Chain A
Amino acid sequence: MQRAQRGDLDAFRTLLEMYQGRVMRVMVSVLRCDRAIAEDLCQEVFLRVHKGLPAFDGQVRFLTWLHTIAMNVAISEYRRRRTQKRDRHTFSIDAPVAGTDDLYLTPAGRELAPHEDAHQRHFLAMVRAAVHELPDEFRDAVVLRDMEGLAYEEIATVLDLPIGTVRSRIHRGRLLLQEKLQEFRP
């Protein structure tokens, strides 16, 4: 980290390789975008990280800071989409490409019956779709908590919210998911 802060690109590459997967998942989950767009946004995230790294003072965990940047990029992208009033049928920029869930692998080596495996995968895909359909404020909180495992305080830092609001949004998001997933639960 210190070497990266001093401008060592090899050290920065190490950081990048450590966290690129996580950032990618956050982007895909929060924005429900296809992989290409998520990669573009992830690159933007790490460019910002590189730019801000010298000033990173370590008062928060690096992961928290990274998520803050990622969420800022995601929020900017989402706002940009919402203000754009263009024909989405023309360009596939925002609409997820069929198979958006292709970021997730089919578990290998699992010894389940084929129908069980398919049903499980379908269920997990439904869960992810349900997460994507949550209202933004709930989705962000749920993703940061249940996918990234950030603590409430960290999520409050990332989203710039009081802890109580974070807790409330996480809980309400989960309740909404619970309602949606009633029929899909295996």
Chain B
Amino acid sequence: MSAPDRRDDERFAEWVDGCMSGRDRERFEAELRVNARLRADLEAYERTVASVQAALRAPTTEVDFADRVLARLAATRAPAPILASPPRRPWLLAMVLVAALLGVMVWISSWQPTSSGLDVAKVADVVPTAPSPPASEAPAGQSGGGGGGDVGMRRLDAAGGAVPPEAKAAVVPADSDEAGERREQSAAPTRLADAAPVPSVAVPTVGGPDAKAPAEPQPTAPEAASAATAVPGAERRDGAPSAVRSAAPQPDADLEAGDERAKRKAAEEHLESGEVAETLAPTELVPEIVVTGTVPAARRGRGSPAVGGEPKGPVAGGAAPAPAGPTPGLPAGPATGGPAGPASGGPVRTDRFGGSKNEDRGAPLPTGGKRAVDLGSEVEQFLAAQIAAPAKDARASDWAATAGTLRLTVLVPEVRKADAGAGDDAEAAGGERAWLVEGSKDEVAAVVARLGVLVRRQQLQMNNGETRLASPPALAGEKVRDETAKVVPAAPAAARVRLVLRLRLTQR
């Protein structure tokens, strides 16, 4: 094409697109009649436009994601947010993440491994002051709030039966911090809080030698619902009722003691009823995070993205139990007596994990916004990277300094089978993996925070809960419950936290 002057060039576009005014069109047509070169250029231009339009408007394969969109809408439909702020302000996201991280850190720090079980007496004292959202508002794909089906785990209601799924709906006192956070979060379907923790009240069934049957009271159904929303571990705070965040009036100590005795008695009766499965002894309750969601079936078998072409360890992409022996690249941690062997994460990733907290800039998570990858391996990779990667970027204060004693252990497949209890999606059982994360409070909290970001970006759901694992050998810093079932804080310097990370993916 020749180099027409600029006026002719843009008139081509107007001519082809029919945007010329009547007068301009007459003039242009007059020029075309006398200028052969102009005609040739215009014809070439028209052919190009025709080709482009044909290519871009060619028939496409059918797409249908209406159901998914509506499912997400249904999952995120909640009472109108009090705050009218738009969901995508970075500062708001940062505040939500910080609040979530603080909540997790508080929860972890107050967690008391106990053989006598959760102090449901305190949990059951919570009286919900806010109406429960309907069960349909539970995030799609949410499964059991975590902990369901775990060895020895059952949830109890007042009658000793399993807590109905509806009880797992978030019931948070209206004026609690958590309630406000949930309202904000409910307006943003892609926020971290889509996986707002809805922990189940997992009442240990039969404890070990230290188990005290009276410690397993029977919360009523509303109480169970409220307990399901109590911050996990909050009940373990020193003498405080479970709903630390609750705005409900706190019963005084005398009433609390009396209620506790009654509930212990009820728990005893329940235990004696034989409805509860025996657990392995000695065991302890460990906080658990369950990540659920769906991934495209076609891509699930890909395995994790290559880490510079290196093959993954035996755990990556699959659910094989960890091999014996230390994993290269991972720091040796204290031996655990639990069902899991030493951590095996394969080659440790060395890509960038030190990004900004600003998700919009793309925090360097392995998956970014893509769902169609092997999330289990990614979680494993980033967990492994958490272990190995130093805090290259000090800005990422939410996960820095994890190159400490953080340890990752794959839980054996038998745990997965036990998890596939009633009510679990059959596919979820097939796609489940679990890891035991151990480390300092800060390290585990950082892992949880990163996981939360990953979950959000992958549009999955994350729920807190509890699960029962065989108690490890006495670890420095283990918290001990005294006879009054009060939490005795351990020496903070040597405290190690254990957390089960469970991944349940379903294919679509």
Contacts and interface: CB of A to CB of B under 8 A. Distances in A.
Interface of A: 9, 12-13, 16-17, 20-21, 24-25, 29, 35-37, 39-40, 42-44, 46-47, 50, 76-77, 80-81, 83-87, 89-94, 102-105, 107, 123-125, 127-128, 131, 142-143, 145-147, 151-152, 167-168, 170-171, 174-175, 177-179, 181, 185
Given A9-B70, A13-B66, A92-B305, A86 B47 contact: no
A42 B293 CA distance: 19
A9 B10 contact: no
Given A20-B64, A127-B51, A177-B48, 10 more contacts: A20-B65, A89-B306, A94-B368, A104-B61, A131-B55, A147-B57, A171-B10, A171-B12, A174-B12, A179-B1
Nearest to A128: B55
Interface residues of B, number: 58
Contacts of B9: 171, 175
B325 interface: no
Contacts of B61: 102-105
A8 B155 CA distance: 37
Nearest to A170: B13
A181 to B, nearest CB: 6
Contacts of B189: 47
22 contacts: A17-B66, A39-B65, A40-B371, A43-B69, A47-B189, A84-B361, A84-B362, A90-B307, A90-B308, A90-B351, A92-B370, A102-B61, A104-B58, A123-B51, A128-B55, A143-B56, A147-B56, A171-B10, A171-B13, A178-B44, A178-B48, A181-B51
**What are the 10 closest A-B residue pairs judged by CB atoms, nearest first?**
A127-B55, A147-B56, A84-B362, A171-B13, A178-B48, A93-B370, A124-B55, A93-B368, A36-B372, A105-B59
B19 interface: yes
Interface in B23-51: 44-45, 47-49, 51
B370 A37 contact: yes
Contacts of A25: 56, 60
Given A36-B372, A84-B368, A91-B367, A107 B52 contact: no
Interface in B286-314: 296, 299, 305-308
